[in-house]
């Protein structure tokens, strides 16, 4: 009977793990804070804030944790800045529209349309914020609410100006008018699609017209 040699020991199989994708080479030329924000926005939108780690953010951005903490004190700061940058843009544009000196009806319509367009243009930011706002630290949460309140108060002032002058009906309180419009804006991230039948400006025009019609005397 032929003798068999000793059984060959089983060697562990080592799997080759593909590296996590990094940002394209062109993105590496972007300043680090903007690159971190862009990566964080993408990952928060794809995976959710709570399922995205700091390590995943820095690896995808091609930077170190030290670089992240140099510009942002925490992941919480990143979440706040994702929304704050959009709100700063919207506040600047609203202030410019409100101060332009045209008829109040034209200014309110322009403001109502602008907040729709800028929200759609930053839809990931809006979606992340409304999905994850409750995960901000109490201090950041309070800060964001104050920033949003300032925007809403400037918008409401346009409604009140028109109501005082008789251009708009005053039967509905200005606060409810503002809530009516911004309720629509806040839901954009749940249904708007780039490949849908309406452009951002068309959506903005429809919603602005609805608001103005609700205020006619």
pLDDT at 181: 96
Torsion of CA 146, 149, 154, 157, to 10 degrees: -130
Class for the domain spanning 21-73 = mainly alpha
Q: Where are the beta strands (DSSP E) in 23-171?
A: none
Give the domain ranges of the chain. Answer: 21-73, 75-214
Angle (CA) 18-24-28 rounded to 5° is: 115
pLDDT digits (tens, 9 = 90+) for 93-137: 999 999 998 999 999 999 999 999 999 999 999 888 888 888 888
Residue 33 to residue 72: CA distance in whole angstroms: 8
Residue 62 to residue 82: CA distance in whole angstroms: 19
- The greatest distance separating any two alpha carbons of the chain, rounded to the nearest whole angstrom, comes to 111
Within the chain, residue ranges assigned H as helices are: 32-47, 54-61, 65-71, 75-98, 104-121, 123-132, 138-165, 174-186, 188-191, 200-214
Question: Alpha carbon of 201 to those of 85, 116, 177: distances in Å?
Answer: 21, 8, 21
- Out of 1.10.357.10, 3.20.20.70, 1.10.20.140, 3.30.40.10, the CATH code matching 75-214 is 1.10.357.10
pLDDT at 131: 87
pLDDT digits (tens, 9 = 90+) for 26-48: 445 789 999 999 999 999 999 99
Q: Hey, is 30 helix, strand or coil?
A: coil
């Amino acid at each position: 009977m032929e003798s068999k040699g000793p059984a060959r020991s089983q060697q562990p199989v080592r799997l080759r793990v593909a590296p996590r994708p990094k940002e394209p080479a062109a993105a590496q030329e972007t300043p680090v804070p903007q690159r971190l924000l862009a990566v964080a926005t993408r990952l928060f939108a794809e995976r959710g804030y709570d399922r995205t780690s700091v390590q995943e953010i820095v690896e995808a951005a091609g930077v170190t944790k030290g670089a992240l903490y140099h510009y942002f004190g925490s992941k919480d700061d990143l979440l706040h800045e994702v929304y704050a940058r959009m709100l700063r843009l919207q506040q600047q544009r609203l202030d410019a529209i409100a101060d332009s000196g045209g008829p109040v009806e034209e200014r309110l319509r322009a403001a109502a349309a602008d907040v729709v367009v800028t929200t759609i243009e930053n839809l990931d930011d809006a979606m992340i914020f409304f999905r994850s706002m409750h995960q901000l630290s109490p201090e950041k949460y309070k800060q964001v609410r104050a920033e949003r309140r300032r925007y809403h108060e400037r918008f409401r002032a346009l409604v009140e100006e028109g109501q005082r002058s008789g251009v708009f009906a005053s039967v509905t309180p200005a606060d409810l008018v503002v809530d009516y419009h911004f309720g629509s804006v806040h839901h954009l991230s749940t249904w708007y699609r780039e490949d849908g039948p309406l452009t951002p400006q068309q959506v903005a025009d429809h919603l602005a017209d609805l608001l103005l019609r609700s205020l006619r005397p």
